């Protein structure tokens, strides 16, 4: 990849397989987006069911009672928009 990161609305996007991480590791929270299912449109695989959740970046002091809820959306765009809203509120 040459060290180049993709960003959206000021947050970094990193994809590994069907997982996308959205946010900055220097913040208190990041979002994890799981692509649950895809559909083929022409020659492209498009996400059609996506789960988004907010995760703390401090995994050493992880308190499972403070885990944030998850949401399922119908596209990667919708999931990233939810993640962006949640990150803005959680990292204030």
Candidates 57, 79, 89, 67; CA nearest to 8 is: 79
Candidates 15, 19, 13; CA nearest to 81 is: 13
Q: Where are the domains of the chain?
A: 6-90
**Which stretch of 5-14, 51-60, 69-78 has the lowest confidence by average pLDDT?**
51-60
Confidence of residue 1 (pLDDT cuts 50, 70, 90): very low
Please determine, for residue 71, whether its predicted confidence score (pLDDT) is greater than 80: yes
Q: Across the chain, what does the average pLDDT equal? A: 88
Q: How far apart are CA 70 and CA 13, in angstroms?
A: 18
Q: How far apart are CA 73 and CA 82, in angstroms?
A: 9
| pTM (two decimals) | 0.83
Confidence of residue 64 (pLDDT cuts 50, 70, 90): low
φ/ψ of 28, rounded to 5, equals -70, -30
Average pLDDT over residues 2-27: 89
φ/ψ of 67, rounded to 5, equals -65, 140
């Amino acid at each position: 990849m040459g060290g180049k990161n993709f960003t959206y609305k000021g947050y970094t996007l990193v994809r590994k397989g069907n997982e996308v991480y959205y946010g900055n590791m220097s913040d208190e929270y990041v979002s994890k987006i799981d692509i649950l299912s895809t559909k083929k449109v022409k020659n492209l695989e498009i996400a059609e069911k996506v789960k988004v959740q907010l995760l703390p970046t401090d995994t050493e002091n992880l308190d499972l009672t403070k885990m944030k809820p998850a949401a399922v959306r119908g596209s990667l765009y919708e999931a990233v928009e939810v993640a962006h809203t949640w990150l803005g509120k959680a990292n204030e």
